[in-house]
Amino acid sequence: MSEEIETKEKKLFDAPSLAEQERMIEAVLFASSEPITLRELEQRLPRGSDVGEAMAFLRHRYQGRGVQVMKVGDAYAFRTAPDLGFLMHRETVETRKLSRAAIETLAIIAYHQPVTRAEIEEIRGVSVSRGTIDQLIEREWIRFGRRKMTPGRPVTFVVTPGFLDHFGLETARDLPGLKELRAAGLLDNRPPLGALPKAGEGDVDSEEETDEGQSELFED
């Protein structure tokens, strides 16, 4: 009698089939506005589910489709296939374009993170304005990282999962290298970094706020 009860209880709490787990994950990803991690999925699916294996099957199922299951950092989300992104341009409204200074600053942070403000200025050859940093933080493309263990303990900057998601990257290591950038015509014939003036010797970002008495974002 007791064995029959144990058998019934075991069947009652058995994990659903892998195909059913795949359906559940698909439903959760479709309804979520933000990427979801495997740990979050484990908390939602029935006990005993193999979320990792079900996710692998789901990603394989969507390979080659117009919508794919993309990995964003440690999370997953439905995203338009990269080669079909041009079809979405009419659906995207760009409310505020990034300045050249912001684009350069973002690129330096992405390729050199974690990086301090002083290091950004050294690479760019000009001072970095408060407005440039604020613009990137407001877009949630960069965030504060750990303080550097150097005199003054300056704060560092790193890119966010939102940055990776926006540019269709799994990690920052997936950023294109110099060869890819040159092949795409995205690198101009600018002088090498060593030939650029040091921070403070060149011009300041054109959008730098010059009002006296305005506090800096960071302590020098």
Domains of the chain, first to last:
11-89 (1.10.10.10), 100-195 (1.10.10.10)
CB 37 within 8 A of CB 28: no
3-state secondary structure of 171: coil
Residue 167 DSSP one-character state = T
CB 106 within 8 A of CB 100: no
Distances in whole angstroms, Cα of residue 59 to Cα of each of 62, 138, 174, 205: 5, 32, 19, 44
CB-based contacts of 172, cutoff 8 Å, min separation 6 = 110, 111, 113, 159, 164
What percentage of the chain has pLDDT greater than the value 70? 71
One-letter amino acid of 15: A
From first to last of the 220 residues of the chain, give the pLDDT tens digit: 455 544 444 444 578 899 999 999 999 999 998 999 999 999 999 989 999 999 999 999 999 999 999 998 889 999 988 888 878 766 555 556 778 888 889 989 988 889 999 999 998 888 888 888 988 998 889 999 998 888 888 999 999 988 888 888 888 888 877 676 666 555 554 444 444 444 444 444 544 433 333 333 333 3
71: how many CB neighbours lie within 10 A of its CB?
16
- Tens-digit pLDDT profile for residues 30-45: 999 899 999 999 999 9
What is the per-residue DSSP string for 9-22? HHHHTPPPPHHHHH
**How far, in whole angstroms, is CA 207 from its chain's centroid?**
26
**How far, in whole angstroms, is CA 43 from its chain's centroid?**
24
CB 138 within 8 A of CB 215: no
CB-based contacts of 207, cutoff 8 Å, min separation 6 = 99, 101, 129, 131, 132
Residue 160 DSSP one-character state = -
The vertex-165 CA angle with 163 and 168, nearest 5°, equals: 105
